[in-house]
Structure 1
Amino acid sequence: MVQQVVFLPYAGGSKFAYRNYVKNLPVGVEGILPELPGHGMRMQELPLTSLQEVVEDLYKQIRPQLKGPYIIYGHSMGSLLGFLLTKYLLQKGDPIPQYCAFTGTMAPSQTGKRVRKLHLLPKHEFWAAIYAYGGTPQEIRDTEAYQDLVENIFRTDFQLVETYKHEAFKLPVPVLVINGSEENITPEEVNAWRNDVNNFVEIQTMPGHHFFIQGKEPVILQTILSFSTLIQHPQPSKHSKHELIKNSKYTDVNAEIGLDGYSGQWENGEPSQGNPSIPTNQCEHCNNPCCCAERLINET
C-alpha cells in the first residue's frame, strides 16, 4: 500500500501549489513536498539552470524522508522531473517509486523538440503565452511589479524544459498519464510515453485546459491512488505489449532486471532485499538496464 506521495512542482510553481492535494490525502498517506531554489520558501536562492542540478537537489530533499512504499506525482515540468528523478534513484541504488503519475505532459522523448521557445520571447509575448496555459494567480496577472519579481523564475523553468535533450531510457515502473482535453499537446507527443516506459502505461483525459488539476483535487487523487489497483490487475491492451506486468512473463522480466521486488517491501524504514536496485546484468550493448527486459519480452 502506498504510504507517501512525492509532489513535484510545475514551472514557476512552489510546493504550496499542492497544499489542497495534501489536505485531501487519505489517512495513512503522507505528502512529501520538495521546494526548488528560487521558488516559494527558497525565493532568496537563485533558480537552478541545469536539470541535473535540479534532480540532485530534489533527491537530497526527498531521500531522507522516504520510509515506505511511495509514488511520485508531477504536473507539467514536474512530470519531466519525476521521470529524471526516478532514473536517478535507480542509478543510486535507492528504492524507486511503486509507480509514477504525471499530468499535463508530453513524453520525455518529445520534450524540447518544439521550435517555438517561450523562454526566449519578449516580455509581453512571454506573459501572454503563460496566461494561455491558465492557472496563473490573479495577483501576478494584475501586478506588473509581481511579474518582474517572478519572471526570471518562470523563464528559467521553461528554459530547463525547452532545452532538454532526451537520452534513451525506459522507465521501469508503471506510469499513469492524465491530460486535459484542451491541452496544447498532440496525440503523438502523449502516446510516445509508451516508448519511454518499459512497463504498464495508462493514458487518460479529463475535461479542461492545462491546469485542469486545480479544483479537482479529490477526483485526481482518487484516480492516482487507485492506479495501484489497476497495475495489480491489468487488462489486456491492443496498444502495447509491455502493459501486462503481473503475468508469468513479466515476473521473469522483473526478476531479470532486478525489479522483482518492485511492489515495494520495506523493513524498519529501509528497502528489503527484494526492492529495486541497480541491475547487475545490464545489456552488453548499452547502459540501459531496461534493454534486457525488452529483449526478454521479444524472445518470449
Structure 2
Amino acid sequence: MTATTAGSSAWIRRYRPAEQARARLLCLPHAGGSASFYLRFARAFGPEIDVLTVQYPGRQDRWREPCVDSVTGLADALVDEVLPWADRPLALFGHSMGAMVGYELAVRLQGAGSPPLAVFASARRAPSRPRDNPAPIHLRDDRGLIEELRALSGTDVRVFEDEGLLRRALPALRSDYKAAETYRYVPRPPLSAPIHVIVGSEDGRVTPDEARAWADHTEGGFSMESHPGGHFYLTQHLSSVVGTVSSRILAGLLP
C-alpha cells in the first residue's frame, strides 16, 4: 500500500489534502476524542504540511467497531496504517492521551526504520511520570463519566443536549480512559526525534516538572512552551500552536 492508496484507511482522515507538501503531520486525539477535533487545526496549516488525523475505532463513523482499550494496542494497530504515509518526513502531534499513543507509535516507527521527524506532546505529562489514581475515571458510572466530560470543557456542548449522542459516546470515552489510566511505561532507548511539549498554564493535570520530564525520552532535542488556559488550551490558541508546530517541522527539514 502506498500513500496514494492509503486514503481508504478507516484510521486516517485528510481534511485538507496537500499533495505537494514537504512533510506530513499526524494528529492523535485525546480520550473520548475523534478525528474531527482536529478539523480547524488541520485547515490552519499551509500547503507545505499535509495534515492527517487519526480516527480511533468506536466513535463517529466507526462507532460500530470495538474500541481498543490500551495505549499500546492503539499504537500497534496504527503502525501499518501510518507507515505508507512516511514516504515524506512525518511528524506526530498528540493531545493528552494522544500524546501517549504518539510516543508509543514513535517508538514503533523508529523500530521499523522510519523514525518520525518530530514528536509534539500536548497537555500530557511524560510517559515516565505516572500518577496514582485511587479512583480511576474509567470505573465510574455513566454520570461520573459525564461529569468528567463537563469538567474538562473540551466537548461540544451540543453533545450534552442530545441524550442519544451522549450515550453512544460513553463506551469510547470509558475505553479511552481505561487506556490512559492503565498505561505503564516500559523503559527503552530514547527517541532520535526531537520532542516538543506544549501545555496550558492552568492545566492541573500536568505540572511543569512532569512536562519537562519528556526531555528524558529523546536524544534529538527538547523544547517546551506554555499557553494560558487549561487542559484544552489548544482550542483557544489554535493559531499560535499551528505557528509553533509548522515552524518546527519546517526547521527540521533544513540540512
Task: Say if 1:12 and 1:157, in contact at 8 Å, map to a contact too.
Answer: yes
Q: What is aligned with 1:100?
A: 119
Q: Deviations over 1:246-281 (max 9, x none)?
A: xxxxxxxxxxxxxxxxx699xxxxxxxxxxxxxxxx
- SS of equivalent to 2:67: coil
| Alignment RMSD | 2.1
**TM-score, normalised via structure 1 length:** 0.72
2:142, 2:68 → 1: CA distance? 21
Q: Deviations over 1:203-246 (max 9, x none)?
A: 1110111111114322111111222477x6xxxxxxxxxxxxxx
Are the structure 2 counterparts of residues 191 and 205 from structure 1 closer, same or farther at C-alpha, using a change threshold of 3 Å? Answer: same
Structure 1 runs of 4+ aligned residues shifted over 6 Å read none
Q: Are 2:16 and 1:4 equivalent residues in the alignment?
A: no
Q: What is aligned with 1:133?
A: 152
Number of corresponding residues: 233
**Percent of counterpart pairs with the same letter?**
24
- SS of equivalent to 2:235: coil
1:80, 1:151 → 2: CA distance? 21
**Correspondence list, 1:81-92, <5 A:** 81-92=101-112
Q: Which amino acid aligns with 2:228?
A: P
Aligned partner (choices 218, 228, 239) of residue 239 of structure 2? 218
Pairwise CA distance, 1:13: 1.1
1:84, 1:173 → 2: CA distance? 13
Q: Which structure 1 segments of 5+ residues have no match?
A: 233-262, 266-300
1:201, 1:2 → 2: CA distance? 22
Aligned partner (choices 35, 42, 50) of residue 22 of structure 1? 42
1:75, 1:2 → 2: CA distance? 23
Q: Are 2:112 and 1:121 equivalent residues in the alignment?
A: no
Q: Deviations over 1:99-138 (max 9, x none)?
A: 1112111111123533341111232222212211111111
**Correspondence list, 1:134-153, <5 A:** 134-153=153-172
Single out whichever of 200-209 and 111-120 deviates more from structure 2: 111-120
Pairwise CA distance, 1:198: 2.6
Task: Say if 2:32 and 2:173, in contact at 8 Å, map to a contact too.
Answer: yes
Are the structure 2 counterparts of residues 17 and 119 from structure 1 closer, same or farther at C-alpha, using a change threshold of 3 Å? Answer: same
Q: Which amino acid aligns with 2:29?
A: P
Q: What is aligned with 1:51?
A: 71
Q: Which amino acid aligns with 1:138?
A: V
Asked which structure has the greater CA Rg, the reply is 1
Q: Which amino acid aligns with 1:63?
A: L
1:138, 1:107 → 2: CA distance? 30
Single out whichever of 166-175 and 187-196 deviates more from structure 2: 187-196
Q: Deviations over 1:42-75 (max 9, x none)?
A: 1110111233321122222221222211211111
